[in-house]
Amino acid sequence: MMKEKVLSILLNKKYKNSSRLIYTIAFGLSSLLVGYQDYRSNKCASFSGLIILNGIFLILFIPIISLKFYNAVQLTKPIRGSNTSQNLIEQNRYLDNMFKLTKQALRSTNFSSKFTQQIVFTYLRSNFRLIECEELHDILVEGNKPGFKILHPYLSENRANYLREVTNFLVHGHIKGAFFINMLDISDLTTSYKVMAPSNEQFSIYMQHADIGKFDKLVIYDETIMVSTRLHWQLNAFGHTNLYYLNGGLKRWKYLGLPLEKGFTQNSNILSQREPKNFEYSLDKSKVIDFNEISQINNNYQQQKQYQIYDSRRVAQYTEGTVPSWTHIPVMTDLIQEDGRFKNINDLQTIHQQQKVDFTKTIIHTCRRGLQATVANFACELVCGANKIDYNSRLYDGSWEEWMTKKQIH
């Protein structure tokens, strides 16, 4: 309730009115004056400091947020609240978004300092959000324009796979309004390794054709779990800011017997008429790691203290070879329930504690080909988000497919 009150004050449209802004700044100046006088009289240094900080906040932060970022905040409003244990991370999404936008505001001014940014930007874990199937169904049943797009990614490596996926989508059905996306279309076309992140240009052009802007509210799902978490990871890595993952995906949706739509719901191939800046995606290279860098880390793995490598392949895939010093958790059996949902936060946390996953280190995720690793990464995000842990991770995009080839493992 307190968070909602804070945001209702900070993001109210009335601050767009210039006179209101003047009153706010004037009140901030008066707070500064009172705080300074109190400090000089040595009545209460801590209290006067608080008044001064309040004045700074009123003068700088509220006008900047209200004038520059009101529309952005509107876009980041949640689809619907949830009280499930799976969505503990949601409890802080309102303030997380406010802190994110405040940080952007600070960076756009000459008033900011690193110290001030650290005070304001205390935490955020806002892009790894779950929405339950029941919640999404209720929203769609209401019949109003939902205000978000639903993405159904699939992985088709050959004609047979493509025909199977298309048949499943068209004949067996999909969630109402879902857009069909082949992950190979947004994967690196210059390498023989499948599903690696593409260039900024390739990703941006595809998203512009699909009319998926970087601020659009998106719900992502599929039936395999790992293809949708891969798309979620990739969108996040390319700078998308408003993502939801459908917990359990199509598997859970069918388990509940919820209605499916048949036929295509697809955009045309005409470029979106929205401003190009909506599609200016850029890969955050700190979120990925290549073969050369992970090889160097592995060569000195026992001595280094910065990284922990997390192998999330299925047990059957360990026959291709393993690195004993890495952490091995077969995520599709250990972290996912039978109906496709993530296990609850307590269970996820217990599993990672038992496997001695150290979240104070940067976790390097790897698997067979960069899919299961994104399931593991999402689970880690949920655990760290619920416990307010500053989680850092990188994805070895080539994964074991590249490692096996270049290390000549047979």
Rounded CA-CA distance 316/106 in Å is: 50
pLDDT at residue 52, as a whole number = 56
In the chain, domain spans: 2-120, 129-283, 286-406
| Helix pair angle (93-107, 2-10), 10° resolution | 30
> Nearest-CA neighbor of 266 among 186, 205, 178?
178
Q: Give the H/E segment covering residue 16.
A: none
pTM of the model: 0.71
Q: Which residues pair with 181 in a beta bridge?
A: 153
Coil, helix or strand at residue 152 = strand
Q: Which of the pair, 168 or 116, is modelled with greater confidence?
A: 168
Selection from 2-6, 76-80, 386-390 with the highest mean pLDDT: 386-390
CB atoms within 10 A of CB 57: 15
Please give the sequence-ordered ranges of beta strands (E in DSSP) within 155-292, or none if there are none: 178-182, 218-220, 243-247, 288-289
- What does the pLDDT look like over 79-89, one tens digit per residue? 554 444 444 44
> Nearest-CA neighbor of 233 among 250, 213, 252, 218?
218
CB proximity list for 401: less than 8 A, separation 6 or greater: 193, 194, 368, 369
pLDDT at residue 73, as a whole number = 40
pLDDT at residue 76, as a whole number = 42
- What does the pLDDT look like over 321-361, one tens digit per residue? 999 999 999 999 999 999 999 999 999 999 999 999 999 99
Which CATH code of 3.40.250.10, 1.10.150.240, 1.10.3720.10, 1.10.287.620 fits the domain covering 286-406? Answer: 3.40.250.10
Q: Specify the fold of 129-283.
A: Oxidized Rhodanese; domain 1 (3.40.250)
Above 60 in pLDDT, residue 154? yes
User: Which of the four pLDDT bands, split at 50, 70 and 90, describes residue 275?
Assistant: confident
In the sheet with 288-289, reading across from the earlier edge strand, the strands are 288-289, 393-396, 362-366, 307-311, 327-328
> Do the beta carbons of residue 154 and residue 180 sit within 8 Å?
yes
Please enumerate, as own/partner, the contacts of 376-380 that have beta carbons within 8 Å and a separation of 24 or more.
Answer: 376/310, 376/312, 376/329, 376/331, 376/335, 377/229, 377/233, 378/128, 378/229, 378/232, 378/233, 378/245, 378/342, 379/331, 379/335, 379/342, 379/348, 379/352, 380/310, 380/352
- What does the pLDDT look like over 57-96, one tens digit per residue? 655 655 554 444 444 444 444 555 444 444 444 444 444 4
Rounded CA-CA distance 11/14 in Å is: 8
Rounded CA-CA distance 261/259 in Å is: 7
- What does the pLDDT look like over 182-221, one tens digit per residue? 999 999 989 888 899 999 999 999 999 899 999 999 999 9
Rounded CA-CA distance 347/325 in Å is: 24
| The two three-digit tokens of residue 191, written as one number | 């390498």
Q: Which of 37-46, 155-164, 260-269, 365-374 has the lowest mean pLDDT?
A: 37-46
Above 90 in pLDDT, residue 291? yes
Selection from 168-172, 330-334, 402-406 with the highest mean pLDDT: 330-334
Helical H runs in 285-344? Answer: 291-299, 331-334
> Do the beta carbons of residue 409 and residue 321 sit within 8 Å?
yes
With the CA atoms of 345, 346, 349 and 355 taken in that order, what torsion angle do they form, in degrees rounded to the nearest 10?
Answer: -130
Above 80 in pLDDT, residue 290? yes
Rounded CA-CA distance 347/297 in Å is: 30
pLDDT at residue 59, as a whole number = 57
- The percent of residues above 90 in pLDDT, for the chain, comes to 52
Helical H runs in 211-274? Answer: 226-237, 249-255
Q: Which residues pair with 366 in a beta bridge?
A: 311
Average pLDDT over residues 6-21: 45
Q: Are domains 129-283 and 286-406 of this chain identical in fold?
A: yes
Q: Which of 16-30, 109-123, 304-318, 345-359 has the lowest mean pLDDT?
A: 109-123
Rounded CA-CA distance 324/328 in Å is: 8
